[in-house]
Amino acid sequence: MIALGCDHGGYPLMKEIIAHLESRGLEYKNFGTFSEESCDYPIFGEAAARAVADGSCDRGILVCGTGIGISISANKVKGIRCALCGDCFSAEMTRRHNDANMIALGARVVGAGLALKIVDAFLDTPFEGGRHERRVNMLMEIENK
Q: Which of 6, 8, 57, 64 is catalytic?
A: 64
**Amino acid identity for residue 72 in this structure:** I
Q: Is residue 46 part of the contact set for ligand RB5 (CB under 6 A)?
A: no
Positions 81 through 140 that interact with ligand RB5 (CB under 6 A): none
Note if 132 is an active site residue.
no
Q: Is residue 9 part of the contact set for ligand RB5 (CB under 6 A)?
A: yes
- Which member of 33, 52, 69, 103 binds ligand RB5 (CB under 6 A)? 69
Contact 28, 4 (CB under 8 A): yes
In terms of Cα–Cα distance, which of 103, 112, 107 is closest to 85? 103
Which residues are CB-contacts of 15 (< 8 A; sequence separation ≥ 6)?
none
Rounded Cα distance, 129 and 132, in Å: 5
Residues with catalytic function: 64, 97
Binding positions for ligand RB5, rule: CB under 6 A: 7, 9, 41, 64-66, 68-69
